[in-house]
Amino acid sequence: MEHNTPLISTIVAGLVLAFAFGVAAQRLKISPLVGYLLAGVVIGPFTPGYVADQSLANELAEIGVILLMFGVGLHFSLKDLLEVRAIAIPGAVVQIGAATVLGAGLGHALGWPFGAGLVFGLALSVASTVVLLRALQERRLVDSERGRIAVGWLIVEDIAMVLTLVLLPAVAGLLKGEATTANWETVLWPVAMTLGKVFAFMVFMLVVGRRIIPWMLHYVAHTGSRELFRLAVLAISLGVAFGAAVLFDVSLALGAFFAGMILSESELSHRAANETLPLRDAFAVLFFVSVGMLVDPGIVVREPLPLLVTVLIIVFGKSIAAFFIVRLFGHPNMTALTISASLAQIGEFSFILAGLGVSLGLMPERGRDLVLAGAIISIMLNPMMFVLLDRVSAKIAAAAEVAKQAAKEAAAAAMPAQPRGHIVLVGHGRVGSNVSTALRRAGADMVVIENDDERVARLQREGFTAINGNAAAQEILDEAEVAQAHGLLVAIPNAFEGGQIVAKARAVNPGLLIIARAHSAEEVTHLRSNGANLVIMGEDEIARAMIARLGVDAVSGDAAASPIISATAPASAGAVA
């Protein structure tokens, strides 16, 4: 029996070597992505030994891209996408233009014709979906404002590259300076058709997909079969992506993103995301292996200076352009730096565009080699960009904290605190947001303590007094003026942390009314022992509500007045009574 099948050997070699090199990279305290890329170089055609099937590796990598974009869509909504359109559309267009000009300039310096430089510059302008999203997910930024802008930017780049791939064959002769029959009709018609197909796909997903996809998943969920549910999620993500590519000529990534975004409106979206996670990570690894397989290490020796300039354009040229664009739209430095770091690499669309340019005779193979080598080096450097970003973020946060403390001390010295009698709400998640809405409706004086940057920024924009930090820290409680508060509502789910908050608040204000939440009898005891006046356990409240719906007295257990109990009680019950 033949065991050395190309598909199995490619998967096994890719995953085993990626694991080995990934562990080695982790031990050296560098990103495992570098190990995955080097694993691809080892099994690629430019190094001795076993050579994996490149075409199969690319197709397996596409599955990783589909599942990754589907997962991102599950955390998005149409509203989120529309909220960032004002910066994502012009920002992506200007950034693509800036990178294209820089790439075309390098092409001109290398003696290439205008068409070759244009294709080369376009290939350097578009970021890798997988690299960008993995970086955001590792830092839990996908759901933040910065993450939404980055993903919106990525979607615009995706659509722009789809249009480029459609338009390039139509104008290839014109760009090469050959006699051509290209005219406005032959140029604009493919663009109009592509935009029409993208629009038709979006309308189809919003009108038809919004009804069918959630209904299908809910139907499968009600069967109680976890296996069928997982299969349904994979069928939806892969099926919609493939259907979008075949029927509407939309990229697989864009199709998967819209499938996830439609499903995000369902309460099953979090479960769907968890079901795809293992496969998504495995195929994402194969994506990086497939990138490594494309690279000829010899180009570092043959073309050192052009390669260096190519990498500088990708890592710094694009990033600087993106930074100033984001700042121009009034966003803070951290948002601009995050977008810049996210875009400081290139990936899958760059490979496709470079390959098309070579096949059309627009760009020399030398240009394609520079694009591929620039891609792997930029992907290797991208984790370092985010490490630098983290350090800058920490310094900015520290400086802001010092300034904030100085301002607080100055204000305290100028005007002593007056009794407020306000309410302090700790946590603004599912429970806290409902509490704050009710308190605002009642006109209560309220201070919210929340440790999520984006939630605090949103609350402050909406006019709430919100403090960013951990309420277990004494300085945060002091800033919220707990000593002058009338009540403290602890709405966070962590009872241990909640107990610390309750104890510190009680020490500061012995007469404070403290209400906390819990999930078990042990947590109730813990919170009460630390000084809470009232502890509400969600499970108890749900049980009381269900009993009340049946008309049963929760205290006495009397069911005589309940028509539901009377109608459903066994006939023998009366006889026994």
User: For 551-564, how does the pLDDT look when each residue is reduced to its tens digit (9 = 90+)?
Assistant: 765 555 554 444 44
What are the strands of the beta sheet with 513-518, ordered from one edge?
Answer: 465-468, 446-450, 423-426, 487-490, 513-518, 534-537
Q: pLDDT for 60-77, tens place per residue? A: 888 887 887 787 777 666
In angstroms, the CA 548 to CA 554 distance is 7
Q: Are residues 376 and 519 in the same domain?
A: no
Residue type for 170, please? A
- Using a pLDDT cut of 70, give the percent of the chain over it: 88
pLDDT at residue 534, rounded to an integer = 92
Q: How confident is the model at residue 4 (pLDDT cuts 50, 70, 90)?
A: low
Would residue 542 count as lying in a domain? no
CATH number at residue 437: 3.40.50.720
CATH number at residue 190: 1.20.1530.20
Residue type for 261, please? M
- What average pLDDT score do residues 520-536 get? 89
Phi/psi at 530 (5° precision)? -90, -5
Q: Are residues 450 and 353 in the same domain?
A: no
Q: Are residues 242 and 283 in the same domain?
A: yes
Would residue 121 count as lying in a domain? yes
pLDDT at residue 183, rounded to an integer = 58
For residues 547 and 529, is the Cβ–Cβ distance under 8 A? no
Q: How confident is the model at residue 577 (pLDDT cuts 50, 70, 90)?
A: very low
pLDDT at residue 299 above 60? yes
Q: pLDDT for 246-283, tens place per residue? A: 988 877 877 888 888 888 777 787 788 778 778 878 88
pLDDT at residue 176, rounded to an integer = 72
Q: How confident is the model at residue 523 (pLDDT cuts 50, 70, 90)?
A: confident
Local structure of 487: helix, strand or coil: strand
- Using a pLDDT cut of 90, give the percent of the chain over it: 19
Q: Is 53 exposed, middle or buried (0-12, 13-18, 19+ CB in 10 A)?
A: middle
For residues 402 and 391, is the Cβ–Cβ distance under 8 A? no
For residues 139 and 196, is the Cβ–Cβ distance under 8 A? no
pLDDT at residue 409, rounded to an integer = 65
Q: Are residues 438 and 378 in the same domain?
A: no
- The residue behind tokens 């051509």 is 180
Mean confidence (pLDDT) of the chain? 82
Distances (CA, A) of 395 to 46, 389, 392, 457, 476: 43, 10, 5, 19, 20
Q: pLDDT for 309-363, tens place per residue? A: 999 999 999 999 999 999 998 888 888 888 898 889 887 778 878 888 888 888 8
Q: Are residues 361 and 438 in the same domain?
A: no
Would residue 546 count as lying in a domain? no
- The residue behind tokens 């996670």 is 277
Q: Are residues 185 and 45 in the same domain?
A: yes
64: nearest Cα among 7, 134, 16? 134
- What average pLDDT score do residues 457-461 get? 86
Would residue 164 count as lying in a domain? yes
459: nearest Cα among 496, 486, 431, 432? 432
Q: How confident is the model at residue 98 (pLDDT cuts 50, 70, 90)?
A: very high
Give the range of the structural domain holding residue 509, as residue numbers without chain letter: 423-532
Helices (H), 249-345: 252-263, 269-294, 299-302, 304-312, 318-328, 333-342
Q: Are residues 313 and 361 in the same domain?
A: yes
For residues 341 and 149, is the Cβ–Cβ distance under 8 A? no
Q: Which residue, 381, 397, 413, sits at the end of a domain?
A: 397
Residues in the chain: 577
For residues 114 and 104, is the Cβ–Cβ distance under 8 A? yes
Paired tokens of 62: 């596409």
What is the number of structural domains in the chain? Answer: 2
Q: Are residues 393 and 511 in the same domain?
A: no
Q: Is 78 exposed, middle or buried (0-12, 13-18, 19+ CB in 10 A)?
A: middle
Q: pLDDT for 426-446, tens place per residue? A: 999 888 888 998 998 888 889
Q: Are residues 176 and 259 in the same domain?
A: yes
What DSSP character marks residue 351? Answer: H
Paired tokens of 118: 């244009």
Is the overall model pTM greater than 0.75, yes or no?
Answer: no
pLDDT at residue 564, rounded to an integer = 40
In angstroms, the CA 40 to CA 294 distance is 8
The residue that leads in pLDDT, 307 or 267, is 307
Would residue 195 count as lying in a domain? yes
420: nearest Cα among 482, 362, 373, 463? 482
Would residue 383 count as lying in a domain? yes
Q: How confident is the model at residue 488 (pLDDT cuts 50, 70, 90)?
A: very high
Would residue 549 count as lying in a domain? no
In angstroms, the CA 281 to CA 259 distance is 19
Q: pLDDT for 115-149, tens place per residue? A: 899 999 999 998 887 788 778 877 777 777 888 88
Q: pLDDT for 170-199, tens place per residue? A: 777 777 766 555 555 666 777 778 778 888
Q: Are residues 359 and 446 in the same domain?
A: no
What DSSP character marks residue 47? Answer: S
Q: Which residue, 363, 397, 431, sits at the end of a domain?
A: 397
In angstroms, the CA 347 to CA 56 distance is 17
Would residue 407 count as lying in a domain? no
Q: Are residues 67 and 143 in the same domain?
A: yes
- What average pLDDT score do residues 462-482 get? 87
Give the CA dihedral 500, 503, 504, 508, nearest 10 degrees: 170
Q: Are residues 152 and 22 in the same domain?
A: yes
pLDDT at residue 572, rounded to an integer = 41
* DSSP secondary structure string for all residues of 66-120: HHHHHHHHHT--HHHHHHTHHHHHHHHHHHHHHHHHHHHHHHHHTT--HHHHHHH
In angstroms, the CA 141 to CA 383 distance is 15
pLDDT at residue 571 above 60? no
